[in-house]
Homo-oligomer: A and B are copies of this chain.
Amino acid sequence: MAGKISKTDQRREELRERLIGIAEARIAAQGLASVKVRDLAREAGCAVGAIYNVFTDLNGLVMAVNGRTFRKLGSHVSETVAERPQDRAQDQLITMSLAYLHFAQGNHNLWRALFDLDMSTDMDVPQWYLAELGALFALIAAPIARIFPDWPGDRVDLMTRTLFSSVHGIVLLGLQKRISGVPLDRIEAMIAALLSNVTAQAGKP
């Protein structure tokens, strides 16, 4: 029995994928708060209890959606950078930041779910989360290390986290319609203002 791929396991895996897709569509269309077990069960054609055979709870399902979103985010950023291989390192930082902004704007609810869920629960982060985050950080660290060739690794790492957090903050508050209501080109200008200040320091102590 152990290790076998039974017909049961196939159905479970199929249901799992179906539920992730349904939840993903719901989050994208109506936001994280619109994900309800009874709606999911009805749309997936299963019983409410079946969801708990495949995921430990609703958070686990949303976590799976977040996994997809995080991978899409990473792909979007890295592919956008890869499209412009002749860019200077300074421009790569801007390209990546704008890619982050545009992904967040184009997938607002899914992007927000990445952070809204993590806040409410206090369980520790799954390892795929840290792996994706590390890959994203590595992507940012590369141009920084090229801009500041004489910086030690830990200083590059600190600047990597600083810039990521800063851009994240700009995007987060910028897209928060009810607070600031900033148009998109102003958010882009803020990112450019931030990064031009940092990269202009190249060659200085």
Chain A contacts to B: CB under 8 angstroms: 33, 112, 116, 118-120, 122-125, 129, 133, 158-159, 161-162, 164-170, 172-174, 176, 178-180, 182, 186, 189-190, 193-194, 197-198, 200-201, 204
A10 to B31 Cα, complex, angstroms: 41
Knowing A33-B120, A197-B197, A198-B197, the reply to whether A165 touches B179 (Cβ < 8 A) is no
The 9 closest A-B pairs by CB, nearest first: A169-B169, A166-B166, A162-B190, A165-B170, A165-B169, A165-B173, A168-B169, A197-B198, A125-B178
A189 to B160 Cα, complex, angstroms: 12
Q: Among B33, B112, B118, B190, which residue has its beta carbon within 8 angstroms of that of A161? A: B190
Chain A binding surface, main DSSP class? helix
Q: Is the CB of A161 within 8 A of B180?
A: yes
Give the one of A33, A120, A180 with max B CB within 10 A: A180
A174 to B197 Cα, complex, angstroms: 22
Knowing A124-B178, A200-B201, the reply to whether A162 touches B193 (Cβ < 8 A) is yes
A51 to B197 Cα, complex, angstroms: 50
Knowing A118-B179, A197-B198, the reply to whether A174 touches B170 (Cβ < 8 A) is no
Q: List 24 A-B contacts (CB under 8 A).
A: A118-B176, A118-B179, A124-B178, A125-B178, A125-B179, A133-B179, A161-B173, A161-B182, A161-B190, A162-B190, A162-B193, A164-B173, A165-B166, A165-B170, A165-B174, A166-B166, A166-B167, A166-B169, A167-B169, A169-B172, A172-B172, A194-B198, A197-B198, A200-B201
